[in-house]
Structure 1
């Protein structure tokens, strides 16, 4: 294995053309320089320097190793600078993740604020279910994730801490021409004859099924649509109604209205999750997420 200091010494000797001047620059004794260069030549399998009456110069083998040494030292210097920036929270890559509706407005708003404050940070964003996000945090793939306790509760992961960001109520999306569109709040039982537009993944428990059971009925007609754009499209066309998390409200088309439900249990808790030793940039993003929640919940003045 090539020792970094020996490579640095070779580069310095080549730059100064002298053992004496290299020793002075690196705060070595001349005899120490001679010993280390001799050890380096032994490792290289032959002479690296031609000893001249007044100084030294590189041999062909010395020029080859010198070229690689310069490249190695430059890479190490850049790595040191990158790590300094990363640990200061002023730059480097920040890998984030969120579940689908958190990526509609919440996380983008916080990331925009982070980029405005620290433009050198290189944000890498991903979207996945909460269970996947927690595993990615645990294996170091992600530096921060926005996760929720729906539908199975918040998964635990070694070395991961989660902080509550907000409660995310589920609202019902209705076409504006729907008879209940003008209601202040909707009782689920009033929607017992509706077609429900739900996730395409029908094998997992849903809040809707539990809530309908509490209201005294079972949803009779269900359409399985995977993406939110498709769900909204079907609802706009009057083909059904859908439960929509409040986090998704900014993406709801103007042809739909969102109404709260009388069943206050229809909600999930949203968390920001971080590894045990988070990056400073991740901690900064956490604060911007909290600010985004505060801004989201601030009452709007009329007009």
Structure 2
């Protein structure tokens, strides 16, 4: 692609060479094209910048006044072009990312590690919190991409969802529990158990599908942090639901049983981006890496 030059860059070249012909040769233009560009700048500013002499040109007083300002414009343009090139080639720029808690256990850190290896020049700013928070930040233009779940219960106005995976659920049980080792456990088998949950309202938690079907867990302890939930389970204080994304980080002193999908369906996990906005090169590359990591985790879970 041929290089284009601003009017100020052409002006500076002519001033340095004192010749339209020499400037044209250096810039890759015709002499008449350079002359027209200088005339355009003179018309725009309402002054004559060069005295046209029989042999070459010479700056007028107005041209000498403009010279340092044109140099400043040229330097700023060079800086802008370098920054834009860095964005295009992923050698620079800022990527603002958010994710819900269990996505931070494996999906997001693995994606970030691979992305940093491929594109170390991109600065990544991360936020954490529930999916609803990230959807609001995306809609407000304060995030570029977020990993969210369909349990957010938020309106998706202003956001576009990109499906990543469908996440199965486990029940975390104390070691030695009578149902340890069960596959596709039915929650009716846990009707008499004490539960550790993130809310006193089970319909606001991962339990919502089974609550809608009539199952009412007996919530003894409200614990929002999923690592803390594991501590309560390990101490024998109850059982809890655990998403598959967090399974690799489970404590050694608890055990997991797969929940039958008819009781708690697999949870859809998405990457969300602002609707209607062109993704930056960094956002597009990060989305691609998220999909790849999600495929790896899905294959691992299935295995």
2:233 corresponds to: 235
Alignment partners' CA distance in 2, 1:128 and 1:66:
53
CA 1:57–1:263: 2 relative to 1, 3 Å: closer
Q: How far did residue 246 of structure 1 move?
A: 0.7
Residue by residue over 1:32-61, the C-alpha shift from the partner in whole angstroms, topping out at 9 and shown as x without a partner, is 687577668868xxx99999x9986898x9
Residue 150 of structure 1 aligns to a residue in which SS?
coil
Residue by residue over 1:69-104, the C-alpha shift from the partner in whole angstroms, topping out at 9 and shown as x without a partner, is 434322322322332342355643332222221121
Alignment partners' CA distance in 2, 1:101 and 1:236:
19
Residue 177 of structure 1 aligns to a residue in which SS?
coil
Contact kept? 2:181, 2:256, Cα under 8 Å: no
Listed as ranges, the gaps of 5+ residues in structure 1 are none
2:157 corresponds to: 157
1:199 corresponds to: 198
1:133 corresponds to: 134
Q: How far did residue 22 of structure 1 move?
A: 4.9
What TM-score do you get using the length of structure 2 for normalisation? Answer: 0.74
Residue 204 of structure 2 aligns to a residue in which SS?
coil
User: Aligned pairs, how many?
Assistant: 292
Contact kept? 2:167, 2:268, Cα under 8 Å: yes
Contact kept? 1:198, 1:224, Cα under 8 Å: yes
22-31 or 165-174, which moves further after superposition? Answer: 22-31
Q: How far did residue 296 of structure 1 move?
A: 1.8
Contact kept? 1:14, 1:58, Cα under 8 Å: no
1:281-300 map, 5 Å: 281-298=282-299
33-42 or 239-248, which moves further after superposition? Answer: 33-42
1:261 corresponds to: 259
2:110 corresponds to: 109
Are 1:74 and 2:75 matched, yes or no? yes
Q: How far did residue 168 of structure 1 move?
A: 1.2
Residue by residue over 1:159-184, the C-alpha shift from the partner in whole angstroms, topping out at 9 and shown as x without a partner, is x4323221112211122133332333
1:3-42 map, 5 Å: 5-9=6-10, 11-12=12-13, 15-16=16-17, 22=23, 25=26, 27=29
Listed as ranges, the gaps of 5+ residues in structure 2 are none
1:167 corresponds to: 166
2:97 corresponds to: 96
1:246 corresponds to: 244
Contact kept? 1:90, 1:281, Cα under 8 Å: no
Contact kept? 2:230, 2:251, Cα under 8 Å: yes
250-259 or 111-120, which moves further after superposition? Answer: 111-120
CA 1:104–1:196: 2 relative to 1, 3 Å: same
Alignment partners' CA distance in 2, 1:178 and 1:143:
44
What TM-score do you get using the length of structure 1 for normalisation? Answer: 0.74
Alignment partners' CA distance in 2, 1:24 and 1:297:
60
CA 1:56–1:204: 2 relative to 1, 3 Å: farther
RMSD (Å) for aligned C-alpha atoms: 4.0
Alignment partners' CA distance in 2, 1:38 and 1:262:
77
1:37-52 map, 5 Å: none
CA 1:122–1:270: 2 relative to 1, 3 Å: same
Q: 1:225 aligns with which of 201, 223, 226?
A: 223
